[in-house]
Amino acid sequence: LLLGTWGLVIGCRQPESASDGQGVPAEEISLTEEEFARAKQLFFNYCAGCHGTTRRGATGPHLLPEAPEGSTYPGTRQLGTAAIKAFITNGTPGGMPDWGRQGILSEEEIDLLARFLQLPPPPIPPMNLEDMRASWKVHVPVEQRPTRPQHNRNWRNFVGVVLRDAGKVAIIDGDTKELVSIINTGFAVHILRSSASGRYFYSVGRDGKVTLIDLWMDPPQMVAEIKSAYDARSVDVSKYKGPKGDFIDRYAILGGYNPPHFVILDGLTLEPLKIIRTSGYDVNEGAFYDEARVASIVASHHDPLWVVNVKETGQIWLVDYSGVAQGKVSIDVLKAEQFLHDGGWDHTKRYFLVAANNKNKVVVVDVQEKEVEAIVETGRRPHPGRGANFYNPTYGHLWATGHLGDNTIALIATDPGPNQWKVVKKLELPGVGGGTLFIKTHPKSRHLWVDRTLNNDPELQRTIYVFDTETLELVKELKIPESIPNARAVHLEFNQNGDEVWVSAWGRKDDPSTNAILIYDDRTLELKQVIQGDWLITPTGKFNVYNTANDIY
Ligand code: DHE
């Protein structure tokens, strides 16, 4: 193996005897410095989330030149350029997106990536408080912010929409469906979370940038920003109110993929207060993971605690923020299961359920008792988003998850009794393969809504499924209207009243006509409104203020 310096050419050649596994001598790989930099950025934008920055694998398999010991997946050198290109172009039934077929990556980009992946991964640079402070900006100081809403709109029913590839967030009035404001949040903004009061939205981007948006301003605008990681996916806030309401809107927390750390921020200014690295030993093999990425973070409503899910190590950290003002952060580390990803509360908000997606399991944490309550086998690669909570006359309270790797929705019973934490029923989606990213319901709804964004079949990617939560029957299959071509249905969100469901039609970044927000009547299951516009580019996640602040799903 020859690895060039960071000079002109970075190259790699297998030993003479090496082959692609089919008797063909392995090709020589070389990238110019410029190509390497581009490939690194493409990898970061499209691949690192699932395969890891150091490419050791997580939701997706490892992408290392040589397979690590015990891995069932071959090394990328063994696969060779042609096979890697085929994977990137066509995706897989296991949930790998078809980046080429969708036209998101060009043939030339796919070729570049396929060659880059056969070289050793570049190292992760460190980031400290000083680096973060250099990027920290308070655009509107707290004392200059309004003391009451400056508009007459029902801001609790605002919906923040992630405009993924535009690097923006749109704020839409959920009552009138009017666009209220567009905020430049930065590259590949990923999710929004609402402060405990609901007044502020926090966004986090894949570039690790957190922004703070004040919904009381007219129009709502960004009042502070900071870059607290190179690569991140999660942000949350202090939701425990405390006896005197001390913690409302007091802190925020950012979860870093790269560097692997979490950062506690002042909730009103985003000043960075504390960084804690999450590197550590995994719960099964005891292998050390420097890249131990923070996946989902959820805030308890009952205690001053954040549940921080560390992907590679499979540890769940319960972070007590009550002493931050005195410089103290105490952490309980629970051993759970590797490859933790996303999850949400059960209906009591005592138990947090999180997918260990590459292990086909959901871990249940009793946050009150600070222990792992159960580990439940669900299906192939559970991906719940936040999951969905509903009451069923036969099974009692249920929490549900869909799967990336199969066509089922697993219903887990949450009420005390012999069935608690068991999959009591699986609902089936018609057609082949999984690809479900998100499911959603609302306490006032009788429906469970399911997307299938990552299915391999373009028709199923456009389909939304609705189940009756009492009969558990599939009652409707809805499709994105044909007038909106090349779009996939992704992410479902209810309005504050729980009688409308908003679905994103996620289209091409260069063609607004392929993008839309579809609003369905939850009672009649009819499409009641379509929002489109030149500004509506690649809408993905949607976050209703009231539902997000109160964890209603
Ligand atoms: Fe997400 C939530 C990570 C790709 C839309 N996504 C999450 C969470 C994590 C995560 C860890 C949980 C955050 C929390 O609750 O604190 N997402 C990742 C990835 O690593 C991954 C797989 C690949 C990547 O490169 O980023 C990835 N996610 C996507 C997308 O491609 C989606 C569909 C579109 C987009 O805008 O990027 C997407 N992810 C979302 C959404 C949520 C989310 C909408 C929040 C769901 C909710 O209802 O709360």
**Comma-separated ranges of CATH 2.40.128 domains in the chain:** 156-184+429-553
Residue with CA at minimum distance from ligand 1 atom 4: 49
| Pocket of ligand 1 from Cβ distances under 6 Å | 49-50, 59, 162, 164, 190-191, 233-234, 295-297, 341-342, 385-386, 437-438, 490-491, 540-541
**512 CB burial (10 A radius; 0-12, 13-18, 19+):** middle
Q: How far apart are CA 538 and CA 510, in angstroms?
A: 9
Among 44, 190, 192, 202, which is best to mutate for testing ligand 1, by the most ligand atoms less than 8 A from CB? 190
**pLDDT tens, residue by residue, 317-353:** 999 999 999 999 999 999 999 999 999 999 999 999 9
Residues 6+ apart with CB under 8 A from 341: 58, 59, 295, 296, 309, 311, 354, 355, 356, 357, 383
Point out the ligand 1 atom lying closest to the alpha carbon of residue 206. Answer: 26
Question: Which one of the listed residues 62, 190, 347, 383 is annotated catalytic?
Answer: 383
Report CA 266 to chain centroid distance, whole Å: 23
Point out the ligand 1 atom lying closest to the alpha carbon of residue 344. Answer: 15
Q: Buried b vs exposed e over 218-250: b needs ≥16 C-beta within 10 Å?
A: eebebbbbbbbbbbbbbbbbbbbbeeeeebbbb
Backbone angles phi, psi at 388, to 5 degrees: -145, 135
Q: How far apart are CA 232 and CA 208, in angstroms?
A: 5
Helix (H) or strand (E) holding 40: helix 33-46
Whether 50 is catalytic: yes
Dihedral, 463, 185, 203, 154 alpha carbons, nearest 10: -80
3-state secondary structure of 326: helix
Q: Say which CATH topology domain 156-184+429-553 has.
A: Lipocalin (2.40.128)
Residue with CA at minimum distance from ligand 1 atom 32: 540
Residues 6+ apart with CB under 8 A from 195: 201, 202, 237, 248, 249, 267, 549
Q: How far apart are CA 366 and CA 349, in angstroms?
A: 9
Per-residue pLDDT tens digits of the chain, which is 553 residues long: 222 222 233 444 443 333 444 444 557 888 999 999 999 989 988 898 788 888 988 778 999 999 987 788 999 999 999 999 999 999 987 778 899 998 889 999 999 999 999 999 988 778 999 999 999 999 999 999 999 999 999 999 999 999 999 999 999 999 999 999 999 998 889 999 999 999 999 999 988 999 999 999 999 999 999 999 988 999 999 999 988 888 999 999 999 999 999 999 999 999 999 999 999 999 988 899 998 999 999 999 999 999 999 999 999 999 999 999 999 999 999 999 999 999 999 999 999 999 999 999 999 999 999 999 999 999 999 999 999 999 999 999 999 999 999 999 999 999 999 999 999 999 999 999 999 999 999 999 999 999 999 999 999 999 999 999 999 999 999 999 999 999 999 999 999 999 999 999 999 989 999 999 999 999 999 999 999 999 999 999 999 999 999 999 9
Q: Judge if ipTM > 0.90.
A: yes
Point out the ligand 1 atom lying closest to the alpha carbon of residue 162. Answer: 36
Calculate how far, in angstroms, residue 123's C-alpha sits from the geometric centre of ligand 1.
24
Question: Comparing C-alpha atoms, which of 375, 368, 374, 371 is closest to residue 350?
Answer: 368
What DSSP state is assigned to residue 526? -
Among 102, 113, 162, 191, which is best to mutate for testing ligand 1, by the most ligand atoms less than 8 A from CB? 191
Residue with CA at minimum distance from ligand 1 atom 42: 191
Q: Output the pLDDT for position 26.
A: 59
Residues 6+ apart with CB under 8 A from 436: 383, 402, 403, 404, 409, 429, 450, 451, 452, 453, 454
Question: Which one of the listed residues 96, 127, 132, 217 is annotated catalytic?
Answer: 96
Q: What would you report as the CA-atom Rg of the chain, rounded to the nearest whole angstrom?
A: 23
Q: How many CA atoms lie within 13 A of 358 on its CB side?
A: 19
β-strand partners of 182: 170
Concatenate the DSSP letters of all residues of 343-395 into one string.
EEE-TTSSEEEEEEGGGTEEEEEETTTTEEEEEEE-SSSB--TT-EEEEETTT
Q: Output the pLDDT for position 6.
A: 24
The tokens of 245 are what?
């309401």
Length, in residues, of the chain? 553
Task: Mention the CATH class of domain 9-116.
Answer: mainly alpha
Question: Which one of the listed residues 62, 261, 341, 347 is annotated catalytic?
Answer: 341
Q: Output the pLDDT for position 3.
A: 26
E strands, 164-208, are 168-173, 179-184, 189-194, 200-205
The tokens of 132 are what?
């973060």
Among 50, 233, 312, which is best to mutate for testing ligand 1, by the most ligand atoms less than 8 A from CB? 233
pTM, two decimal places: 0.87
Whether 222 is catalytic: no
Q: How far apart are CA 324 and CA 446, in angstroms?
A: 42
Cis status, amide bond into 219, omega within 30 of 0: yes
Q: Report the interhelical angle of 76-90 vs 107-116 (nearest 10°).
A: 150
**Comma-separated ranges of CATH 1.10.760.10 domains in the chain:** 9-116
Calculate how far, in angstroms, residue 437's C-alpha sits from the geometric centre of ligand 1.
9
Whether 12 is catalytic: no
Calculate how far, in angstroms, residue 191's C-alpha sits from the geometric centre of ligand 1.
7
Beta strands 251-258 and 439-440: pairing type? unpaired
